[in-house]
Structure 1
């Protein structure tokens, strides 16, 4: 297995890991914003 291929696999793994993590964080932020907005509307 050439070193170049191994680096490609590592970088794609890191990319998918980071994109997944940012997606989870983004979803939590959206849910938090929606929740606080609903609370404000109720008040």
Structure 2
């Protein structure tokens, strides 16, 4: 039972990391392009 819950936590953690990475991959280029645009 304990091991099952631990695996569940690891799975949720991996999903959270994946979502966070996706957000960074989407947002960082936009922020970078916006900052370049405003600096021009």
TM-score by length of 1: 0.75
Q: Distance in 2 between matches of 1:10 and 1:30?
A: 30
Q: Distance in 2 between matches of 1:29 and 1:39?
A: 15
Which protein has the larger Cα radius of gyration, Structure 1 or Structure 2?
1
More deviation, 25-34/4-13? 25-34
| C-alpha displacement of 1:39 | 1.9
Residues 10-21 of structure 1: pairs in structure 2 closer than 5 A: 10-21=8-19
Q: Distance in 1 between matches of 2:33 and 2:39?
A: 10
RMSD: 1.1
For these two proteins, the number of residue pairs brought into alignment is: 40
